[in-house]
Amino acid sequence: MEKEYDLFLFLGQSNMAGRGVTSPQWPETAPALTPGAGYEYRAVSDPGRLYPASEPFGVHENNPDGICEPGMKTGSMVTAFINAYYARTKIPVIGVSASKGGSAIGQWQGDGDYLSDALMRLERTERFLKEQEITVRHRYMLWCQGET
């Protein structure tokens, strides 16, 4: 693995969660990951390792007590973002999914909300990376709003 990574918490509503579909009119699918460009840390479903980032990003990350939308994630912008970021910076990304389509901003504030779940995911990620001696250069939060 590389010596240094940038950590991204991908948060937001449906546009971040991914509702991408293809059709005869719009046949393009999400891009494949550039080899080595990034990984997904599955803080909820499998916190013991990193996975190469793929679409639909975060599809396995359903927390019944927090961010949960089984069967809803069909594709997002995350892999395209990781590819572009890596092409520009040459720094691979470790991404964490924390998005919930159809959520109102009020559901991201207070106790027992989506933000609390997102912060738990971030804490698990940072603990895992420290245990694995993986260096994080920068930490980012990338929010993409939906329509709610």
Q: What is the pLDDT of residue 48?
A: 97
Q: What is the pLDDT of residue 55?
A: 93
Q: Strand pairing of 135-144 and 4-12? A: parallel
Tokens (6 digits) for 28: 């393009």
Closest CA to 59 of 43, 70, 44, 50: 70
Tokens (6 digits) for 59: 């599809």
Q: What is the pLDDT of residue 36?
A: 96
Q: What is the pLDDT of residue 26?
A: 80
CA–CA dist 10, 33 (Å, integer): 16
Superfamily of domain 4-20+30-144: SGNH hydrolase (3.40.50.1110)
CB atoms within 10 A of CB 148: 13
CA–CA dist 45, 67 (Å, integer): 12
CA–CA dist 7, 129 (Å, integer): 10
Q: What is the pLDDT of residue 1?
A: 61
pTM of the prediction?
A: 0.92
What residues contact residue 23 under an 8 Å CB cut-off, 6+ apart?
none
Distance of CA 51 to the CA centre of its chain: 12
Q: What is the pLDDT of residue 123?
A: 98
Q: What are the CA-CA distances from residue 146 to residues 1, 12, 40, 109 (Å)?
A: 34, 7, 22, 17
Per-10-residue mean pLDDT for the chain, 148 residues long?
A: 89 87 80 96 98 95 95 91 98 97 86 91 98 97 83
